[in-house]
Structure 1
Amino acid sequence: MWDGCLPALPVQLYQAWLLYLYTGLALRENILRANGSDIRPWWIKHHYCAMAMALISLTWEIEREPNCSQKQRGVQLFLKWAIMQGVAMLLQNRYQRQRLYTRIALGKARRMDVVWGETAGVDGQLLLLFPVLFILQGFEAYVGVLLLKTAFIGVVSEWQVVTCGILLIIMAAGNFANTVKTLVTKSRVKAKMKRGKSRQDLKSESPAKSS
Protein backbone atom coordinates (compact mmCIF):
# COMPACT_ATOMS: atom_id res chain seq x y z
CA MET A 1 0.00 0.00 0.00
CA TRP A 2 2.80 2.41 0.93
CA ASP A 3 5.53 0.65 -1.09
CA GLY A 4 7.29 -0.40 2.11
CA CYS A 5 7.38 3.16 3.47
CA LEU A 6 5.24 4.25 6.38
CA PRO A 7 3.60 7.70 6.12
CA ALA A 8 5.30 10.22 8.37
CA LEU A 9 2.32 11.90 10.04
CA PRO A 10 0.55 8.85 11.56
CA VAL A 11 3.85 7.47 12.85
CA GLN A 12 4.82 10.77 14.45
CA LEU A 13 1.38 11.17 15.98
CA TYR A 14 1.67 7.71 17.51
CA GLN A 15 5.14 8.49 18.84
CA ALA A 16 3.83 11.75 20.32
CA TRP A 17 1.04 9.77 21.97
CA LEU A 18 3.61 7.40 23.49
CA LEU A 19 5.54 10.37 24.86
CA TYR A 20 2.35 11.75 26.41
CA LEU A 21 1.42 8.33 27.82
CA TYR A 22 4.75 7.61 29.50
CA THR A 23 5.03 11.17 30.80
CA GLY A 24 1.61 10.79 32.41
CA LEU A 25 2.52 7.40 33.87
CA ALA A 26 5.77 8.72 35.31
CA LEU A 27 3.99 11.68 36.92
CA ARG A 28 1.25 9.45 38.30
CA GLU A 29 3.69 6.97 39.82
CA ASN A 30 5.81 9.72 41.36
CA ILE A 31 2.65 11.09 42.99
CA LEU A 32 1.72 7.61 44.20
CA ARG A 33 5.17 7.08 45.68
CA ALA A 34 5.13 10.49 47.35
CA ASN A 35 1.83 9.53 48.98
CA GLY A 36 3.19 6.32 50.44
CA SER A 37 2.67 3.80 47.65
CA ASP A 38 5.00 0.79 47.63
CA ILE A 39 5.61 0.84 43.89
CA ARG A 40 9.04 -0.39 42.87
CA PRO A 41 11.40 2.48 41.90
CA TRP A 42 12.45 0.66 38.73
CA TRP A 43 9.06 1.10 37.08
CA ILE A 44 9.37 4.87 37.40
CA LYS A 45 12.86 4.71 35.89
CA HIS A 46 11.46 2.50 33.13
CA HIS A 47 8.93 5.16 32.21
CA TYR A 48 11.69 7.78 32.14
CA CYS A 49 13.58 5.59 29.66
CA ALA A 50 10.42 5.10 27.60
CA MET A 51 9.81 8.86 27.63
CA ALA A 52 13.33 9.47 26.35
CA MET A 53 12.93 6.84 23.65
CA ALA A 54 9.59 8.23 22.48
CA LEU A 55 11.05 11.73 22.35
CA ILE A 56 14.11 10.55 20.42
CA SER A 57 11.95 8.56 18.02
CA LEU A 58 10.14 11.76 17.07
CA THR A 59 13.38 13.02 15.53
CA TRP A 60 13.82 10.02 13.23
CA GLU A 61 13.83 10.86 9.53
CA ILE A 62 10.96 8.90 8.01
CA GLU A 63 10.05 10.98 4.99
CA ARG A 64 9.62 9.23 1.66
CA GLU A 65 12.93 8.79 -0.13
CA PRO A 66 14.28 6.30 -2.68
CA ASN A 67 15.69 4.16 0.15
CA CYS A 68 13.04 4.95 2.75
CA SER A 69 12.16 1.28 3.28
CA GLN A 70 15.68 0.70 4.60
CA LYS A 71 15.79 3.91 6.60
CA GLN A 72 12.47 3.08 8.22
CA ARG A 73 13.66 -0.31 9.42
CA GLY A 74 14.39 1.06 12.87
CA VAL A 75 11.03 2.81 13.03
CA GLN A 76 9.20 -0.38 12.09
CA LEU A 77 11.00 -2.38 14.78
CA PHE A 78 10.22 0.29 17.36
CA LEU A 79 6.53 0.30 16.41
CA LYS A 80 6.32 -3.50 16.70
CA TRP A 81 7.71 -3.30 20.21
CA ALA A 82 5.32 -0.47 21.12
CA ILE A 83 2.30 -2.49 19.96
CA MET A 84 3.36 -5.52 22.01
CA GLN A 85 3.98 -3.25 24.98
CA GLY A 86 0.43 -1.95 24.68
CA VAL A 87 -1.03 -5.46 24.76
CA ALA A 88 0.99 -6.32 27.86
CA MET A 89 -0.08 -3.10 29.57
CA LEU A 90 -3.74 -3.93 28.95
CA LEU A 91 -3.28 -7.36 30.54
CA GLN A 92 -1.43 -5.86 33.51
CA ASN A 93 -4.11 -3.24 33.99
CA ARG A 94 -6.86 -5.84 33.99
CA TYR A 95 -5.02 -8.01 36.52
CA GLN A 96 -4.10 -5.12 38.82
CA ARG A 97 -7.58 -3.62 38.82
CA GLN A 98 -9.16 -6.92 39.85
CA ARG A 99 -6.60 -7.64 42.55
CA LEU A 100 -6.62 -4.13 43.99
CA TYR A 101 -10.43 -4.05 44.03
CA THR A 102 -10.43 -7.29 46.01
CA ARG A 103 -7.86 -6.00 48.51
CA ILE A 104 -9.71 -2.71 49.00
CA ALA A 105 -12.96 -4.61 49.58
CA LEU A 106 -11.21 -6.74 52.21
CA GLY A 107 -9.72 -3.68 53.89
CA LYS A 108 -6.15 -4.77 53.11
CA ALA A 109 -5.24 -1.94 50.75
CA ARG A 110 -5.89 1.68 49.93
CA ARG A 111 -6.49 3.25 46.56
CA MET A 112 -2.94 4.64 46.57
CA ASP A 113 -1.41 1.15 46.81
CA VAL A 114 -0.16 -0.91 43.90
CA VAL A 115 -0.56 -4.61 43.28
CA TRP A 116 2.32 -6.85 44.33
CA GLY A 117 3.46 -8.80 47.35
CA GLU A 118 0.40 -10.11 49.14
CA THR A 119 -1.67 -10.24 45.98
CA ALA A 120 -0.46 -13.68 45.12
CA GLY A 121 -3.79 -15.12 44.10
CA VAL A 122 -5.55 -15.50 40.79
CA ASP A 123 -3.25 -18.23 39.53
CA GLY A 124 -5.03 -18.42 36.18
CA GLN A 125 -4.36 -14.77 35.44
CA LEU A 126 -0.75 -15.03 36.59
CA LEU A 127 -0.20 -18.04 34.34
CA LEU A 128 -1.24 -15.83 31.43
CA LEU A 129 0.33 -12.55 32.54
CA PHE A 130 3.87 -13.63 33.43
CA PRO A 131 4.58 -15.59 30.21
CA VAL A 132 3.33 -12.62 28.19
CA LEU A 133 5.61 -10.30 30.16
CA PHE A 134 8.64 -12.54 29.69
CA ILE A 135 7.93 -12.87 25.96
CA LEU A 136 7.60 -9.10 25.69
CA GLN A 137 10.87 -8.56 27.54
CA GLY A 138 12.64 -11.03 25.28
CA PHE A 139 11.21 -9.31 22.22
CA GLU A 140 12.21 -5.95 23.69
CA ALA A 141 15.83 -7.07 23.99
CA TYR A 142 15.64 -8.63 20.52
CA VAL A 143 14.43 -5.36 18.98
CA GLY A 144 17.17 -3.48 20.81
CA VAL A 145 19.82 -5.82 19.40
CA LEU A 146 18.33 -5.53 15.91
CA LEU A 147 18.39 -1.74 16.13
CA LEU A 148 22.06 -1.79 17.11
CA LYS A 149 22.76 -4.28 14.34
CA THR A 150 21.10 -2.12 11.70
CA ALA A 151 23.17 0.82 12.92
CA PHE A 152 26.51 -0.99 13.04
CA ILE A 153 26.20 -2.62 9.62
CA GLY A 154 25.36 0.74 8.10
CA VAL A 155 21.72 0.18 7.12
CA VAL A 156 20.43 2.91 9.43
CA SER A 157 23.35 4.61 11.15
CA GLU A 158 21.56 7.53 12.80
CA TRP A 159 22.29 8.19 16.47
CA GLN A 160 18.61 7.79 17.29
CA VAL A 161 18.72 4.12 16.30
CA VAL A 162 21.76 3.42 18.48
CA THR A 163 20.31 5.26 21.48
CA CYS A 164 16.92 3.57 21.24
CA GLY A 165 18.58 0.18 20.86
CA ILE A 166 20.59 0.72 24.05
CA LEU A 167 17.53 1.97 25.93
CA LEU A 168 15.49 -1.05 24.86
CA ILE A 169 18.15 -3.47 26.08
CA ILE A 170 18.43 -1.63 29.41
CA MET A 171 14.65 -1.65 29.85
CA ALA A 172 14.42 -5.33 28.93
CA ALA A 173 17.07 -6.29 31.50
CA GLY A 174 15.51 -4.13 34.22
CA ASN A 175 12.00 -5.36 33.48
CA PHE A 176 13.12 -8.98 33.57
CA ALA A 177 14.95 -8.57 36.88
CA ASN A 178 12.04 -6.79 38.55
CA THR A 179 9.45 -9.20 37.16
CA VAL A 180 11.43 -12.11 38.61
CA LYS A 181 11.67 -10.29 41.96
CA THR A 182 7.92 -9.74 41.95
CA LEU A 183 7.29 -13.39 41.10
CA VAL A 184 9.59 -14.53 43.92
CA THR A 185 7.87 -12.16 46.35
CA LYS A 186 4.44 -13.45 45.37
CA SER A 187 5.61 -17.05 45.80
CA ARG A 188 7.01 -16.33 49.26
CA VAL A 189 3.90 -14.51 50.38
CA LYS A 190 1.69 -17.28 49.07
CA ALA A 191 3.76 -19.90 50.89
CA LYS A 192 3.59 -17.82 54.08
CA MET A 193 -0.18 -17.53 53.77
CA LYS A 194 -0.46 -21.30 53.33
CA ARG A 195 1.68 -21.92 56.42
CA GLY A 196 -0.45 -19.51 58.43
CA LYS A 197 -3.61 -21.20 57.24
CA SER A 198 -2.31 -24.66 58.13
CA ARG A 199 -1.39 -23.46 61.62
CA GLN A 200 -4.88 -22.07 62.11
CA ASP A 201 -6.33 -25.41 61.00
CA LEU A 202 -4.15 -27.26 63.51
CA LYS A 203 -5.21 -24.91 66.31
CA SER A 204 -8.86 -25.35 65.44
CA GLU A 205 -8.47 -29.14 65.39
CA SER A 206 -6.76 -29.31 68.80
CA PRO A 207 -9.75 -28.04 70.88
CA ALA A 208 -12.04 -30.35 68.96
CA LYS A 209 -9.90 -33.39 69.87
CA SER A 210 -9.59 -32.40 73.54
CA SER A 211 -13.34 -32.09 73.87
Structure 2
Amino acid sequence: MFLLVWYYCTLTIRESILKVNGSRIKGWWRTHHFISTVCSGVLLIWPNSVTWHLFRPQFMIFNVYISVVQALQFWYQQGVLYRLKALGERHNMDITIEGFHSWMWRGLSSLLPFLYAGYLFQLFNAYKLYQLSFHKNTVWQVPVLSALFFVLFLGNSITTSLVIPQKLRERRRKREIEMFARVKSTESLTKQE
Protein backbone atom coordinates (compact mmCIF):
# COMPACT_ATOMS: atom_id res chain seq x y z
CA MET A 1 0.00 0.00 0.00
CA PHE A 2 2.87 2.35 0.66
CA LEU A 3 3.80 2.13 -3.02
CA LEU A 4 0.39 3.55 -3.91
CA VAL A 5 0.99 6.54 -1.63
CA TRP A 6 4.44 7.06 -3.16
CA TYR A 7 3.09 6.65 -6.71
CA TYR A 8 0.33 9.23 -6.30
CA CYS A 9 2.64 11.65 -4.47
CA THR A 10 5.10 11.54 -7.38
CA LEU A 11 2.25 11.98 -9.89
CA THR A 12 0.99 14.99 -7.95
CA ILE A 13 4.45 16.56 -7.91
CA ARG A 14 4.95 15.83 -11.64
CA GLU A 15 1.59 17.35 -12.59
CA SER A 16 2.31 20.44 -10.49
CA ILE A 17 5.65 20.91 -12.25
CA LEU A 18 4.00 20.46 -15.66
CA LYS A 19 1.29 22.99 -14.73
CA VAL A 20 3.92 25.56 -13.71
CA ASN A 21 5.69 24.93 -17.03
CA GLY A 22 2.55 25.69 -19.04
CA SER A 23 0.68 22.39 -19.28
CA ARG A 24 -3.04 22.69 -19.93
CA ILE A 25 -3.96 19.69 -17.77
CA LYS A 26 -7.50 19.82 -16.44
CA GLY A 27 -7.76 20.87 -12.80
CA TRP A 28 -9.70 17.72 -11.98
CA TRP A 29 -6.79 15.43 -12.84
CA ARG A 30 -4.51 17.26 -10.42
CA THR A 31 -7.26 17.09 -7.77
CA HIS A 32 -7.70 13.40 -8.63
CA HIS A 33 -4.06 12.74 -7.76
CA PHE A 34 -4.40 14.54 -4.41
CA ILE A 35 -7.56 12.55 -3.58
CA SER A 36 -5.89 9.31 -4.69
CA THR A 37 -2.94 10.08 -2.41
CA VAL A 38 -5.32 10.53 0.54
CA CYS A 39 -7.22 7.38 -0.49
CA SER A 40 -3.96 5.39 -0.60
CA GLY A 41 -2.96 6.77 2.80
CA VAL A 42 -6.28 5.74 4.34
CA LEU A 43 -5.92 2.28 2.77
CA LEU A 44 -2.40 2.07 4.21
CA ILE A 45 -3.59 2.63 7.78
CA TRP A 46 -6.74 0.49 7.52
CA PRO A 47 -6.29 -2.11 10.27
CA ASN A 48 -6.35 -5.81 9.54
CA SER A 49 -10.06 -6.13 10.36
CA VAL A 50 -13.10 -8.08 9.24
CA THR A 51 -14.18 -5.30 6.89
CA TRP A 52 -10.71 -5.21 5.31
CA HIS A 53 -10.88 -8.95 4.62
CA LEU A 54 -14.35 -8.56 3.12
CA PHE A 55 -13.22 -5.75 0.79
CA ARG A 56 -9.70 -6.99 -0.01
CA PRO A 57 -10.51 -9.44 -2.88
CA GLN A 58 -12.54 -6.80 -4.74
CA PHE A 59 -9.84 -4.19 -4.16
CA MET A 60 -7.11 -6.47 -5.52
CA ILE A 61 -9.14 -7.12 -8.68
CA PHE A 62 -9.66 -3.35 -8.98
CA ASN A 63 -5.90 -2.77 -8.70
CA VAL A 64 -5.17 -5.30 -11.43
CA TYR A 65 -7.81 -3.74 -13.69
CA ILE A 66 -6.52 -0.20 -13.11
CA SER A 67 -2.98 -1.41 -13.86
CA VAL A 68 -4.17 -2.78 -17.21
CA VAL A 69 -5.97 0.49 -18.00
CA GLN A 70 -2.85 2.50 -17.13
CA ALA A 71 -0.79 0.27 -19.43
CA LEU A 72 -3.33 0.86 -22.23
CA GLN A 73 -3.17 4.63 -21.61
CA PHE A 74 0.62 4.53 -21.70
CA TRP A 75 0.65 2.65 -25.01
CA TYR A 76 -1.90 5.10 -26.47
CA GLN A 77 0.09 8.17 -25.36
CA GLN A 78 3.37 6.62 -26.47
CA GLY A 79 1.91 5.93 -29.93
CA VAL A 80 0.53 9.46 -30.22
CA LEU A 81 3.86 11.03 -29.27
CA TYR A 82 5.71 8.69 -31.65
CA ARG A 83 3.47 9.72 -34.57
CA LEU A 84 3.80 13.40 -33.73
CA LYS A 85 7.59 13.10 -33.49
CA ALA A 86 7.67 11.26 -36.82
CA LEU A 87 5.62 14.07 -38.37
CA GLY A 88 8.05 16.62 -36.94
CA GLU A 89 5.38 18.22 -34.75
CA ARG A 90 6.99 17.24 -31.44
CA HIS A 91 10.50 17.02 -30.04
CA ASN A 92 12.19 14.13 -28.23
CA MET A 93 11.82 15.82 -24.82
CA ASP A 94 8.05 16.39 -25.10
CA ILE A 95 6.05 14.37 -22.60
CA THR A 96 2.60 15.88 -23.04
CA ILE A 97 0.44 16.72 -26.00
CA GLU A 98 -1.22 20.07 -26.61
CA GLY A 99 -3.95 20.05 -29.25
CA PHE A 100 -5.64 17.11 -30.85
CA HIS A 101 -5.46 15.52 -34.29
CA SER A 102 -8.27 13.60 -35.97
CA TRP A 103 -6.28 10.35 -36.15
CA MET A 104 -5.97 10.35 -32.35
CA TRP A 105 -9.65 9.37 -32.06
CA ARG A 106 -8.96 5.86 -33.34
CA GLY A 107 -6.87 4.95 -30.31
CA LEU A 108 -8.84 7.06 -27.86
CA SER A 109 -12.19 5.62 -28.91
CA SER A 110 -10.90 2.13 -28.15
CA LEU A 111 -9.54 3.31 -24.78
CA LEU A 112 -12.73 5.05 -23.60
CA PRO A 113 -14.73 1.87 -22.78
CA PHE A 114 -11.89 0.70 -20.52
CA LEU A 115 -11.80 4.10 -18.79
CA TYR A 116 -15.55 4.13 -18.19
CA ALA A 117 -15.45 0.54 -16.92
CA GLY A 118 -12.78 1.67 -14.43
CA TYR A 119 -15.03 4.54 -13.35
CA LEU A 120 -17.90 2.10 -12.81
CA PHE A 121 -15.53 -0.08 -10.79
CA GLN A 122 -14.84 2.97 -8.58
CA LEU A 123 -18.59 3.38 -8.11
CA PHE A 124 -18.89 -0.32 -7.23
CA ASN A 125 -16.07 0.08 -4.69
CA ALA A 126 -17.90 3.05 -3.16
CA TYR A 127 -21.12 1.03 -2.96
CA LYS A 128 -19.43 -2.03 -1.44
CA LEU A 129 -17.65 0.16 1.14
CA TYR A 130 -20.91 1.96 1.88
CA GLN A 131 -22.54 -1.41 2.62
CA LEU A 132 -19.55 -2.41 4.79
CA SER A 133 -19.86 0.84 6.76
CA PHE A 134 -22.96 -0.69 8.41
CA HIS A 135 -21.05 -3.80 9.49
CA LYS A 136 -20.95 -4.23 13.27
CA ASN A 137 -17.10 -4.29 13.29
CA THR A 138 -16.53 -1.42 10.89
CA VAL A 139 -13.71 1.10 11.29
CA TRP A 140 -13.66 4.78 10.31
CA GLN A 141 -11.65 4.06 7.13
CA VAL A 142 -14.61 2.30 5.51
CA PRO A 143 -17.05 5.26 5.17
CA VAL A 144 -14.17 7.64 4.36
CA LEU A 145 -12.98 5.39 1.53
CA SER A 146 -16.56 4.98 0.32
CA ALA A 147 -16.89 8.75 0.00
CA LEU A 148 -13.46 9.09 -1.66
CA PHE A 149 -14.20 6.39 -4.25
CA PHE A 150 -17.55 8.04 -4.99
CA VAL A 151 -15.89 11.44 -5.49
CA LEU A 152 -13.31 9.81 -7.79
CA PHE A 153 -16.09 8.16 -9.80
CA LEU A 154 -18.01 11.42 -10.18
CA GLY A 155 -14.98 13.55 -11.03
CA ASN A 156 -13.52 11.09 -13.52
CA SER A 157 -16.75 10.34 -15.36
CA ILE A 158 -17.91 13.97 -15.49
CA THR A 159 -14.53 15.33 -16.61
CA THR A 160 -14.06 12.67 -19.29
CA SER A 161 -17.63 13.14 -20.50
CA LEU A 162 -17.09 16.91 -20.79
CA VAL A 163 -13.74 16.56 -22.58
CA ILE A 164 -15.10 14.33 -25.37
CA PRO A 165 -17.52 16.93 -26.84
CA GLN A 166 -14.85 19.61 -26.41
CA LYS A 167 -12.37 17.54 -28.44
CA LEU A 168 -15.03 16.90 -31.09
CA ARG A 169 -15.70 20.65 -31.38
CA GLU A 170 -11.96 21.32 -31.67
CA ARG A 171 -11.71 18.67 -34.38
CA ARG A 172 -14.66 20.16 -36.33
CA ARG A 173 -13.27 23.68 -35.96
CA LYS A 174 -9.86 22.58 -37.22
CA ARG A 175 -11.50 20.98 -40.28
CA GLU A 176 -13.43 24.18 -40.98
CA ILE A 177 -10.25 26.26 -40.76
CA GLU A 178 -8.42 23.89 -43.10
CA MET A 179 -11.32 23.99 -45.56
CA PHE A 180 -11.44 27.80 -45.39
CA ALA A 181 -7.68 27.96 -46.03
CA ARG A 182 -8.05 25.68 -49.08
CA VAL A 183 -10.85 27.83 -50.48
CA LYS A 184 -8.79 31.00 -49.95
CA SER A 185 -5.71 29.49 -51.60
CA THR A 186 -7.82 28.33 -54.56
CA GLU A 187 -9.32 31.82 -54.88
CA SER A 188 -5.89 33.46 -54.80
CA LEU A 189 -4.61 31.06 -57.48
CA THR A 190 -7.63 31.85 -59.66
CA LYS A 191 -7.06 35.61 -59.29
CA GLN A 192 -3.40 35.26 -60.24
CA GLU A 193 -4.32 33.58 -63.53
Q: TM-score, normalised by structure 1?
A: 0.78
Give the share of equivalent positions with the same residue, in percent.
Answer: 25
Larger displacement relative to structure 2 (169-178 or 96-105): 96-105
Matched residues, number: 191
CA distance in 2, matches of 1:207, 1:34: 43
Match of 2:30 in 1: 44
Taking a change above 3 Å as real, the CA distance of residues 203 and 194 of structure 1, as seen in their structure-2 partners, is same
CA distance in 2, matches of 1:39, 1:60: 32
The DSSP-based 3-state class of the residue aligned with 1:183 is helix
Runs of 4+ in 1 over 6 A off after TM superposition: none
Match of 1:173 in 2: 154
CA distance in 2, matches of 1:100, 1:113: 8
Q: 2:7 aligns with which of 13, 21, 24?
A: 21
1:10-159 superposed matches below 5 A: 15-62=1-48, 71-103=52-84, 108=89, 111=93, 114-115=96-97, 117-152=99-134, 154=135, 157-159=138-140
The DSSP-based 3-state class of the residue aligned with 2:145 is helix
Q: TM-score, normalised by structure 2?
A: 0.85
- What 5-or-longer segments of structure 1 have no aligned partner? 1-14
Deviation of the 1:109 alpha carbon: 5.4
2:183 matched to 1:202? yes
CA distance in 2, matches of 1:156, 1:206: 78
Deviation of the 1:95 alpha carbon: 1.7
CA distance in 1, matches of 2:95, 2:159: 18
Deviation of the 1:108 alpha carbon: 5.0
For 1:135-155, what per-residue CA distance to the aligned partner results, in whole angstroms no more than 9, with x for missing partners?
Answer: 111111111111111222x16
Q: Amino acid of the residue matched to residue 21 of structure 2? A: N
Match of 1:190 in 2: 171
